[in-house]
Amino acid sequence: MKICVVGAGYVGLTLSVALASFGHDMICTDKDLKKIEQLKNGDIPFYEPGLLDALHHCGNLSFSSEVKSSMEECPVIFIAVGTPPRSDGSADTKALQSVISDLSEAIRSYKTIITKSTVPPGTNENIAKQLIASGVSENLFNIVSNPEFLREGNALYDMLHPDKTVIGVQEKDHVSAAIVKSIYKHIDTPYVVTSLAGAELIKYASNFFLAAKISFINEMARICEAYHSDISDISRAIGLDPRIGGHFLQAGIGYGGSCFPKDLQALQFAAQEKNTETYLLQAVQHINDTQLGLYIKKIKSFCDTLHGKKAAVLGISFKPHTDDIRNSQAVRMMERLTELGCHVHAYDPAAVLPEHLRQHVTQQSQAFDAIAESDFLFLATEWPEFLALDWKKAASIMKGRLVIDGRNVLKKELLEDCGLICTGVGRP
């Protein structure tokens, strides 16, 4: 099938590679000329394990910055553009609107328009109205919501092995679900076919639930601290209950990334628009927003003043195996430390500092260059190489003794044997 994917980001590019590997004839298009040039030259614009290699094995995938004509050529169009948060928390769908406006001029034959972007309930229904209002016949298209659940760092695997595929269709649409299933026919997956708004809400519900697990365990960790108990024992024990499950029960500095923070805000905004109270949703965000403060308090309890101290921060990305720094808690921690007068030296295997921090934070190209002469070390992202760090060497080059484990992943006894003090959250 000839398929156009609009948006060559984490979702759109991974989708394009996956569908090309199934034998579909793919055009991946983006308005970002630099990105498209890079892709045409056989490189990818972000770090995602395995994706570059898979791209090099794709014979039937082309790239274009001609968004309108690419859409015109294809009977199936996936939209995977960004939906970042506005300042009021609502999802900014202006990129999506711009694609729809281009699309309204590109529909000359029947199209299945499939939204992969995470959008508030009602958005896809409005897209249909917008197309009809701009003069497109309703017989010439169907809109489908097919939200994406991939995890950055595992994107291609998740795209090829999803735990479910959600297909949201319009009320009288009896053809699109079969078209989407035929596109994904190489994937063995349970299908959930629902309404457009149902599919939009499934995506938000999924991220809300996962974020809630993280905030739940972080609140439990605070209670553990008060009772000198170990949160990791609690996580392990409750995680063995299949009704609870062991994932997302690691206490730490909280969730970040391009999805959870913005999607929870957008869901809250959508609920408020319909005068629906959101007690849990607000609590989950509040716990996350206050989590870094606990760590700052902890550091202050060890150091009389933070002013002028050298801090080594390991990790910049919001999680390991990605260079994505959108809403990274590691970045937020560096902002807090620099505000308090620390000289921060950071290291990350893949990510680079955001522009606004480059004047205040020194990014090192080796972990030990960041660690050398530091008064304390903050582990912000649990990259495997930090877990396997030579802590004896780290102890020998640090000025201070304090290691703050922002992800509760370090072996405390091992660090203590090296003469370091290791503290996490909810660990005695």
Active site residues: 259
Nearer to ligand NAD, 142 or 258 (CB): 258
Question: Could you say which residues in the range 108-137 bind ligand NAD, by CB under 6 A?
Answer: 116-118
Report the distance separating Cα 311 and Cα 361, nearest Å. 10
Among 3, 19, 20, 35, which residue interacts with ligand NAD (rule: CB under 6 A)? 35
Using the rule CB under 6 A, is 298 a contact of ligand NAD?
A: no
Cα dihedral 242→244→248→252 (10° resolution): -130
As measured in angstroms, the least distance from the Cβ of 260 to ligand NAD is 10
Report the distance separating Cα 180 and Cα 400, nearest Å. 58
Among 8, 251, 350, 389, which residue interacts with ligand NAD (rule: CB under 6 A)? 8
The alpha carbon of 297 is separated from its chain's Cα centroid by a whole number of angstroms, namely: 28
Among 3, 5, 6, 314, which residue interacts with ligand NAD (rule: CB under 6 A)? 6
- Strands (DSSP E) contained in 170-274 are 191-195
Asked if 385 contacts 362 with a C-beta cutoff of 8 angstroms, the reply is no
In the numeric block, the tokens 């365990």 are attached to 217
Query: Which range, of 81-89, 159-167, 335-343, 379-387, touches ligand NAD by CB under 6 A?
Result: 81-89
Report the distance separating Cα 128 and Cα 143, nearest Å. 7
As measured in angstroms, the least distance from the Cβ of 257 to ligand NAD is 7
Nearer to ligand NAD, 270 or 312 (CB): 270
Q: Is 252 part of any known ligand binding site?
A: yes
Half-sphere exposure of 67 (CA within 13 A, CB side): 21
Query: Which range, of 80-88, 121-129, 264-272, 406-414, touches ligand NAD by CB under 6 A?
Result: 80-88
Q: Is 105 part of any known ligand binding site?
A: no
Cα dihedral 342→336→409→153 (10° resolution): -120
- Strands (DSSP E) contained in 86-164 are 111-115, 141-145
Nearer to ligand NAD, 51 or 402 (CB): 51
Nearer to ligand NAD, 62 or 364 (CB): 62
As measured in angstroms, the least distance from the Cβ of 31 to ligand NAD is 4
Q: Which positions from 206 to 245 touch ligand NAD by CB under 6 A, shown as an x/- string?
A: ----------------------------------------
- Strands (DSSP E) contained in 89-244 are 111-115, 141-145, 165-169, 191-195
As measured in angstroms, the least distance from the Cβ of 101 to ligand NAD is 9
Q: Is 152 part of any known ligand binding site?
A: yes
Report the distance separating Cα 118 and Cα 266, nearest Å. 10
Report the distance separating Cα 360 and Cα 363, nearest Å. 10
Exposed/middle/buried for 135, CB within 10 Å: 0-12, 13-18, 19+? exposed
The alpha carbon of 354 is separated from its chain's Cα centroid by a whole number of angstroms, namely: 16
Q: Is 122 part of any known ligand binding site?
A: no
Using the rule CB under 6 A, is 254 a contact of ligand NAD?
A: no
Using the rule CB under 6 A, is 317 a contact of ligand NAD?
A: no
How many C-beta atoms surround the C-beta of residue 223 within 10 A? 12
Binding site for ligand NAD (CB under 6 A): 6-12, 30-32, 35, 67, 80-83, 95, 98-99, 116-118, 148, 150, 152, 258-259
Q: Which amino acids are annotated as binding site for substrate, given as ranges?
A: 149-152, 203, 248-252, 256, 319
Q: Which amino acids are annotated as binding site, given as ranges?
A: 30, 35, 83, 118, 149-152, 203, 248-252, 256, 262, 319, 326
Q: Which amino acids are annotated as binding site for NAD(+), given as ranges?
A: 30, 35, 83, 118, 152, 262, 326
